[in-house]
Amino acid sequence: MIPLSVLDLSPIVQGGDPGQSLRASRDLARAAERLGFQRYWLAEHHNMTGIASAATAVALAFVGDGTSTIRLGAGGVMLPNHAPLIIAEQFGTLDALYPKRIDLGVGRAPGTDQLTARALRRNLAGGVDQFPQDVLELMAFLDDPQPNQAIRAVPGYGSKVPVWILGSSLYGAQLAAALGLPFAFASHFAPAMLDQAAQIYRQQFRPSPQAERPHLMLGLNLVAGETDAEARFLFTSLQQAFVNLHRGQPGPLPPPIDDRNGELAGTVAAGSPLSKAVVGGPETIRAGLAQFVAQHRPDEIILTAQIFDQAKRIRSLEIASEARDALAGAA
């Protein structure tokens, strides 16, 4: 079975607060480490009252202090929001604190609305159009310094923190292939171009000092429970969150509800953002993971689950790890 990793948005649940969410994220990372997950990533979002990981590097430092072996990273930093030097310093600092455990996934979306993007940057000059050049500049700051180099990332230079390209379209696949970098595709919310992006990435990949061969990681919503019915109930929190976001009313993660009337069914219909989700009890999770791997052939899967109850969220990871181990044993 291929490696499994964890993508966390550090959800702020209804009735909760950001401090509670960040402490829950550290506990989730500890559980992922105990269960043998490959890496734990946090995502950057801004002006979102349901997400606590806006200051991604700060949150990762907190998580790093509570873990010891699992790789930690950003999934990702939205690079147009930042000067590359700042990100090189932040992740160089993380690497200094937690050597050889840090990943840096970067994306070109703002991770927010345009008004908030302007507040982050003061102006939108460059932005997404500057993304390839910003990636190269960032990598240069993390590489060994050149003779007479005037500006260095301190900490950061020489750390060679692995850089990943994140994407939800063909653009990211093409850029990752051209630069010879690992590629993480956001199939957990944008599955429409998954197979086409994977094909382009693998066919066009050029070996680089960071990667000799393509490495494709796919996002997957996975909500596991003791039974299929329990998992479907837990999954309604994420379904409600997507409906609210579509209506322009994002907010804290709502508690699960009884959806026996199927009012949320549209969120998992063919072509919808959550259509690739794997939701169910242990047997359903094993079958769903096996089918996802057979259909899309990823090199790694990064799981995400917006589950309201923290204990249930950790239990979902446990069931996923049991499914991973069972599939590996059957291979």
List the domains of the chain with CATH numbers.
1-161 (3.20.20.30), 220-297+305-331 (no CATH)
The predicted pLDDT at position 126 comes to 59
Digit-coded pLDDT (tens) for 282-312:
999 999 999 999 999 999 999 999 999 999 9
Give the C-alpha separation, 191 to 270, whole Å. Answer: 10
pLDDT tens per residue across span 71-110: 999 999 999 999 999 999 999 999 999 999 999 999 998 6
Per-residue confidence (pLDDT) for residue 111, from 0 to 100: 64
Here the tokens at position 138 are 């960032």
pLDDT at 114: 76
Rounded mean pLDDT of the chain? 94
pLDDT band at 127 (very low <50, low <70, confident <90, very high): low
How many angstroms separate the CA atoms of 143 and 159, rounded?
6
pLDDT surpasses 70 at 122 = no
pTM of this prediction?
A: 0.95
